[in-house]
Amino acid sequence: MVGGRARLRPHYEKDIVGPVERFDERKTAYSRADRREYAGPDEAIEVGLATKAAKRMRGFLREDFALNSAGRAIDTLVRKYAYSREDFPRRWAFKGEPLQVDNPVRMADEVKAVARWFGADLVGVCELDMRWVYSVWGDHNAKLGPDVQVGDPVVIPEGCRYAIAFAVEMDYEDVMRSPAVIPSTDLGYSKMAFTATSLAEYIRLLGYKAVPSGNDMALTIPICVDAGLGELSRSGMLITAEYGPRVRIAKVFTNLPLEPDEPVDLGVQAFCEVCKKCADHCPGKAITHGDKTADARMECNNSGVRKWQIDAQKCLAFWVKNGTAGCANCIRTCPWNKPPGWTHRLVRSGIKAAPSLDPLFVRVDDLLGYGRPKMNPTPGRRYRGSKR
Ligand code: SF4
Ligand code: SF4
């Protein structure tokens, strides 16, 4: 109960129509790309450098590719040394009894404040639902995982009943460049890695278990839904009230006693029924215009839950054709992706309060030209000369 009323249930509960098996990470598109079943990000970058960068095409310069990959540096280190691990090489080790936690509500507030201090823009807590934990390690994360082989079971340390889910914002101007190179994407991974690793270490130094995790170990979107960060959308991404889908998300598993947050109802499910802008503008035709279904659309889809099924192979195929290890047309065009401002906050409240007006909101969004691509300079150039 929250303040005398029943807690909200996550929106996906009414869409569960069959058993939800823990997902095998080997089935993901990234694992399949690592096994060379699909062309993937590595091939995409090769194509981009050999064609568009070689011709000095705007948005695809060698400098753009370099900036994007450089932004990933901390993520690469953290995957190798910190993600998915209970331990960390530290300057001093905790000795003695764990910090006594008498008030999980206050502890959750403290941990969320610390997460924000380390760089999270949104934070929530949930009880970990084991259905969202991968059953086994896949190719993509095992190659940098903690002494695991592909096919090894994913193990959550005993007692880690909670997940702290968080989101970091990606730069608005940068995302509007899509489908050109968007350096904020890979920088977002490094911000996730820095925040998750630091937060986990803080919790360990209080005497509790903590495992930082990026895209490894578990499906992050349903964990974020459970923790009240947003809702799953037609584009297959999390939509948050504050930034729409323009976020990167990660989590920390822990046994630190924490009061869970409540899931949210932003009105996304009804809005996505009528909107379809992401599907209209998906160059890879990976996003459906159809209805939610529990039937898998292709071999990377999970079963048991009705949702808008994404064709991840088609998405990756577009990346390769486009010559970038990524694309964000679905983020760029989503009406929930807006720069900060009170008018946008007002519209978001309207979406929740009056779903019958959703078609009007979508129409006005189109008329005002939101979501159109704009070749903004990369942050590397925007920040030039701004400081001594
Ligand atoms: S990333 Fe691009 S190709 Fe993939 S689903 Fe989004 S819009 Fe489509
Ligand atoms: S673009 Fe529209 S349909 Fe697609 S995720 Fe955003 S709100 Fe939903």
> Which atom of ligand 2 lies at the shortest distance from residue 274's CA?
3
Q: Rounded distance, CA 210 to CA 238, Å? A: 24
> Which atom of ligand 1 lies at the shortest distance from residue 179's CA?
2
Q: Rounded distance, CA 35 to CA 140, Å? A: 9
Cβ-contact 83, 199 below 8 angstroms: no
Kindly write down the DSSP assignment for every residue of 10-25, as one continuous string.
PGGGGGB-S--PPP-G
Q: pLDDT value at position 4?
A: 62
Question: Beta partners for 232?
Answer: 238
Q: pLDDT value at position 146?
A: 80
| 197 has a pLDDT exceeding 90 | yes
| 383 has a pLDDT exceeding 60 | yes
Q: At what angle do helices 358-367 and 342-353 cross, to 10 degrees?
A: 150
Q: Rounded distance, CA 115 to CA 123, Å? A: 7
Q: Phi then psi for 124, rounded to 5 degrees?
A: -150, 165
What's the Cα-to-Cα distance from 98 to each of 88, 103, 164, 299, 310, rounded to whole Å? 17, 14, 19, 45, 44
Q: Rounded distance, CA 273 to CA 307, Å? A: 11
* % of the chain exceeding 90 in pLDDT: 80
Q: pLDDT value at position 286?
A: 98
| 108 has a pLDDT exceeding 90 | yes
Greatest extent of the chain over all pairs of C-alpha atoms, in Å: 64
Kindly report which listed range (95-109, 200-214, 340-354) carries the lowest average pLDDT score.
Answer: 340-354
The SS3 of residue 273 is helix
Average pLDDT over residues 334-355: 87
- The beta strands (E) that lie in the chain are given as 122-127, 162-169, 210-213, 231-232, 238-239, 247-254
- The mean pLDDT of the chain is 93
Q: Tell whether ligand 2 has an atom less than 6 A from the beta carbon of residue 370.
A: no
Instruction: Give the residues surrounding ligand 1 with Cβ less than 6 Å away.
Output: 282-284, 286-287, 315, 318, 327, 329-330
What confidence tier does 7 reach under pLDDT thresholds 50, 70, 90? Answer: confident
| 200 has a pLDDT exceeding 60 | yes
Q: Tell whether ligand 2 has an atom less than 6 A from the beta carbon of residue 271.
A: yes
Enumerate residues 6+ apart whose C-beta is below 8 A from 5: none
Cβ-contact 303, 23 below 8 angstroms: no
Q: pLDDT value at position 347?
A: 84
Q: Phi then psi for 186, rounded to 5 degrees?
A: -75, -30
Give the closest ligand to the alpha carbon of residue 178: 1
Closest CA to ligand 1's atom 6:
330
What is the Cα 366 distance to its own chain's centre? 26
Which of 278, 318, 319 should be mutated for ligand 1, with most atoms under 8 A from CB? 318
User: Considering the entire predicted model, what is its pTM?
Assistant: 0.95
Question: Beta partners for 123?
Answer: 166
Closest CA to ligand 1's atom 1:
327
The SS3 of residue 98 is coil
Tell me: cis bond preceding 257? Omega within 30 of 0 counts: no
Ligand 2 center–CA 10 separation, angstroms? 19
Ligand 1 center–CA 227 separation, angstroms? 26
Give the closest ligand to the alpha carbon of residue 233: 2
Q: pLDDT value at position 378?
A: 78
Q: Which tens digits make up the pLDDT trace of 355-379? A: 998 999 899 999 999 999 999 887 7
What confidence tier does 380 reach under pLDDT thresholds 50, 70, 90? Answer: low
Q: Which tens digits make up the pLDDT trace of 275-332? A: 999 999 999 999 999 999 999 899 999 889 999 999 999 999 999 999 998 899 999 9
Closest CA to ligand 2's atom 7:
272
Q: Which tens digits make up the pLDDT trace of 221-231? A: 999 999 999 99
Closest CA to ligand 2's atom 1:
334
Which of 269, 276, 365 should be mutated for ligand 2, with most atoms under 8 A from CB? 276
Ligand 2 center–CA 276 separation, angstroms? 5
What confidence tier does 61 reach under pLDDT thresholds 50, 70, 90? Answer: very high
Q: Which tens digits make up the pLDDT trace of 63-81? A: 999 999 999 999 999 999 9
